[in-house]
């Protein structure tokens, strides 16, 4: 009887610890997960799985889609905000800029931050 009580007690204890852990996942972890998700859905098709970019078929020295791994988190952040502003003001100068500007259409500042945090982890 006593043994069963101890088993029950430890089960309750383990479950409480689990609940505590699940409730307190740091926001940086969720932000990274979020960034990974957005990248996969909205960026990967052009910039590649590892943000390595895509070269032009006819002229492989040049990129069709820029690699992103060389950029710092701050540079990514600023770049994305710039393209978003470009989209909002419809102020792109060519088709290439327009393509990237449009890609920021569905983002907000939190998503842009999460993306910048995620992309630097692809290095």
Distance (Å, whole) CA 119 – CA 73: 8
Based on the shown chain and the rule CB under 6 A, indicate whether residue 46 belongs to the binding site for ligand HEC.
yes
Distance (Å, whole) CA 33 – CA 108: 16
Distance (Å, whole) CA 24 – CA 22: 6
Based on the shown chain and the rule CB under 6 A, indicate whether residue 50 belongs to the binding site for ligand HEC.
no
Residue 7 or residue 45: which is nearer to ligand HEC going by CB?
45
The least distance separating ligand HEC from the CB of residue 26, rounded to whole angstroms, comes to 23
CB-CB contact of 96 with 117 (8 Å): no
- Residue from the set 34, 84, 87, 100 that interacts with ligand HEC by CB under 6 A: 100
Residue 16 or residue 85: which is nearer to ligand HEC going by CB?
85
Based on the shown chain and the rule CB under 6 A, indicate whether residue 99 belongs to the binding site for ligand HEC.
yes
CB-CB contact of 45 with 51 (8 Å): no
Chain centroid to CA 114: 5
Based on the shown chain and the rule CB under 6 A, indicate whether residue 96 belongs to the binding site for ligand HEC.
yes
Based on the shown chain and the rule CB under 6 A, indicate whether residue 66 belongs to the binding site for ligand HEC.
yes
Helices (H), the chain: 2-23, 27-42, 44-47, 73-89, 95-102, 109-119
Based on the shown chain and the rule CB under 6 A, indicate whether residue 105 belongs to the binding site for ligand HEC.
no
Contacts to ligand HEC by CB under 6 A: 42-43, 45-47, 65-66, 68, 71, 76, 79-80, 96-97, 99-100, 103, 115
């Amino acid at each position: 009887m006593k043994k069963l009580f101890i088993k029950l007690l430890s089960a309750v204890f383990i479950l409480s610890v689990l609940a505590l852990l699940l409730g307190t996942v740091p926001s940086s972890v969720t932000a990274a997960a979020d960034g990974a998700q957005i990248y996969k859905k909205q960026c990967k098709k052009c910039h590649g799985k590892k943000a390595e970019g895509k070269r032009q078929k006819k002229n492989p020295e040049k990129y069709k889609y820029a690699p992103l791994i060389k950029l710092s988190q701050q540079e990514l952040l600023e770049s994305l905000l710039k393209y978003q502003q470009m989209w909002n003001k419809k102020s792109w100068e060519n088709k290439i800029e327009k393509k990237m500007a449009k890609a920021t259409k569905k983002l907000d500042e939190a998503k842009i931050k999460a993306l910048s945090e995620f992309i630097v982890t692809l290095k």
